[in-house]
Amino acid sequence: MSIVSTKPYLLRAIWQWCIDQGFTPYIATAVDEHTRVPPGYARDGQIVLNLAPDATGQLQMENDFISFQARFGGVAHSLVIPVANVIAIYARENGQGMAFEPELEEDAAGLEDEAVDGEEAAGTEAVVEDMGDAAAQARAEAADGAGDASPRPPRGSHLKLVK
């Protein structure tokens, strides 16, 4: 029997503390193939999300995933965030919260276990390069699709306080 990480419990506790104090809970999370967020909102492989009750619908904070519905640009999206990808949870108003060390995926751990002698670093680099290539390809496809439409004007934060 494996021991469950304390991370999901700490996330729920800090979220509840933010709500009790009247603060707005935000999470910062790494975006990868296991994360479901609206395309185009993640920057540098990360996204910051407002988890306030009035900004989310059907919020579920389980031991493995955080799932909820939120609006981006007026369009409702269903989001799924692996708890392992959460980098931090904090109150927007004062920055108090907790940061977490990034957790390695089971796949990456499997690669390291299978590596022989000095190949461990090479296996890890290959995973990083593949994700970088995928991100570059997604950016190129987005640029190709956006070429026929007028470019979007720069805007402020995509997170909005809903009252």
pLDDT surpassing 80 at residue 42: yes
- For residue 161, which phi and psi values (nearest 5 degrees)? -80, 120
Task: Give the Cα separation of 48 and 41 in Å (integer).
Answer: 9
pLDDT digits (tens, 9 = 90+) for 28-41: 999 999 999 988 89
Higher pLDDT, 156 or 149: 156
pLDDT of residue 39: 86
pLDDT surpassing 80 at residue 109: no
pLDDT surpassing 70 at residue 117: no
Task: Give the Cα separation of 153 and 58 in Å (integer).
Answer: 32
Does the global pTM surpass 0.75? no
Which residues does residue 67 pair with via DSSP β-bridges, in sequence order? 60, 80
pLDDT of residue 31: 92
Q: In which band, very low, low, confident or very high, does the pLDDT at 101 lie, cut at 50, 70 and 90? A: confident
Q: What percent of the chain has pLDDT over 70?
A: 63
Q: Is 69 helix (H, G, I), strand (E, B) or coil?
A: strand
pLDDT of residue 134: 47
Q: What type of residue is 52?
A: A
